[in-house]
Chain A
């Protein structure tokens, strides 16, 4: 087993796997809280255009994929913030356009889908030394902002409207979050591939959430679990000669299942329904010469009655009801 680790390509594979194992849950935590789990998937599809473009132009695939993916992420966020993506249709077009465009470009490059498949499913053993540097920088950036801005991101996840009323730059934070998701996709191209990247973002978070209490603990736990499954999955895949991406994801799911078994039981309490005050019967007031006076709120005393205001008139109360007054 340790002999395997002495190969430089294997060392690079392990480092690359560790990097995406760190980054994917660090970003996935926010993506899961915001119920955007399919976003990683969608951005993965967009990355395929980048790969196709790189194949066509002969450029290095990772930087091109990163650029295209970030561009795609910014477009998605712009659609979301401008309210144009209220239906999923816009996003679906972008994502499937990405997949189809990538396949088309790869075809034009005369490389067909075979050249794409290593990015669809990951192929750790093809990681180059330059890749490692790029992956390292992207991971440092993504994990860095995920941890450094954790309180702000948390507030946006918990209640975006409330976060706005506290003067947080919600638009900027959302953009940073989605750009980090794009970086995660890029970093994971070699490890788990675009088709499984969402799993690495979501599953460790779900497992940590079963085991731990609170946001911060879950975030840290998810990063640790992500690191564990990605590195051990890589070793297992090398030993058993299985595809790395699938091995990592299956391992992550096994950890999740285990966490569901040992996780503490959650008891959910239903929200209590705010009770309405008892309403009174509708009894129209007899016409008074001065009934209109009751609308002159300066002139008469007002008392709160359940969900409305009554006006005191001598010994009794009036309440405005449409064009007349009721006796209350």
Chain B
């Protein structure tokens, strides 16, 4: 597979503040690559270096094997969809889309034909003469994408393009964007702070925090096997629980730890990190890996009692908010809407359980004072 974009040890410093810190990644041709991170972690800065608006303080950026150092944005085979879309209000939709082709001195007839085709492709046929401010949020979105895609860039960079849309439209545009990307086959680098956008659309996701990449992986792995506590917290929901290792059992293919929580629960969990008896750990449990009233016959389960505090109904995403008995530790547990658990009421004392395979453990993070 051909590598369209290769970023090696890229650093960006603003005076003495490091916004992007030794970031490296490769994106293969035709892939949908996302960079996921909280606000201010350096996503836009990284994208602006790829598009040429910032010169990296260190490291190299290669597009299709060609070093981009010193090449200005208007000469790079990448296009950027801005966080605020930046459609030109002084032009109509057709002129917006034709802008790039006109700069390449294309023939008028060619421009007209390509513009029409592009508008059809993004589902806005015949919109050439509309004014930009007559468009809805989703339509603006599509015009912005059409305006860049018409130049057939090697890589299309998208800076949180769905941020300004309402929830329903965002869900719809997510799917549309992915479909469009598959159709045109252009390499997309997409940045967002919304994990669902990243997980739904991407082939690979990089999780970014404070200028560094914490993990680059497939969405599935990111969710199932987070490599750092930050990824465990940031991608998907997680219950965080501190515990201490009281013993370690090594079997052939996995290592199992006995752990004890401050509340006195004793659990078994598999672990990947290098941990020893006596270590303090952080245990992460997904709400959906906690079972409600598990079948007593399953022997391997870790079991503990909870007191239901409240039921957070949210359709398929419903939760039980529960407390451990005689403690104020809160735990969120998925509440499957199968009617099986309809009898559960706030105040009930019930049993919950989880399988040792679903535990995610990390050495306790040193608390930064």
Say whether A and B bind each other: no
B residues bordering A, Cβ < 8 Å? none
A residues bordering B, Cβ < 8 Å? none
